[in-house]
């Protein structure tokens, strides 16, 4: 009687996030983070949700750097909820480490805004996380997706797109 070994379940291959080298992040907005105890689990390893919070902080700071305050968007009734998120964890970040969260607006299609992220070591030699996030412009009062971006916001995104393409 032959004894079959159970095959180990394997995840299907994905191309959702390639494994880019850290030197591909030259013209991206940079946001420095130092890992605090509340970012980690009991072993001092960064909790997976902390990375997502850092990415949102970096995106908001990137927008602020070109004159877009999230509070101003809220005041005109525009919200930007995340509708799609893809994250690849390459290696863990530990308590006390400093990392650079890099972000750039990848593309605007109608009211969909796609962002790319990379979390790397401060010297740029280690890649910890890569991610892609899609936001949509939502009319807060009606609770519906907007037909078009508010003009001032669209103009600012055009400006950020020009910076990314240089």
From 18, 41, 79, 141, the catalytic residue: 41
Tell me the three-class secondary structure of the chain, residue by residue. Answer: CCCCCCCCCCCCCCCCCCCCCHHHCCCCEEEEEECCHHHECCCCEECHHHHHHHHHHHHHHHHHHCCCCHHHHHHCCEECCEEEEEEEECCCCECCCEEEEEEEEEEEECCEEEEEEEEEECCCCCEEEEEEEEEECEECCCCEECCCCCHHHHHHHHHHHHHHCC
Tell me, yes or no, if 116 is annotated catalytic: no
d(CA 28, CA 118) in angstroms, rounded, equals 9
Which residues are catalytic, by number? 41
């Amino acid at each position: 009687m032959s004894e079959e070994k159970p095959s180990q379940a394997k995840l299907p291959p994905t191309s959702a996030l390639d494994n880019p080298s850290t030197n591909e992040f030259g013209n991206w907005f940079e946001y420095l983070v130092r890992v605090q105890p509340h970012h980690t689990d009991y072993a001092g390893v960064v909790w997976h949700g902390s990375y997502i919070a850092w990415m949102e902080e970096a995106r908001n700071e990137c927008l602020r750097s070109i004159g877009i305050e999230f509070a101003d968007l809220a005041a005109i009734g525009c919200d930007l909820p995340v509708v799609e998120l893809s994250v690849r964890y390459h290696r863990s970040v530990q308590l006390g480490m400093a990392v650079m969260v890099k972000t750039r607006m990848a593309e605007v299609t109608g009211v969909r805004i796609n962002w790319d992220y990379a979390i790397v070591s401060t010297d740029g030699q280690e890649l910890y996380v890569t991610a892609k996030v899609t936001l949509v412009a939502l009319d807060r009062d009606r609770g519906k997706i907007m037909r078009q971006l508010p003009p001032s916001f669209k103009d600012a995104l055009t400006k950020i797109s020009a910076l990314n393409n240089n």
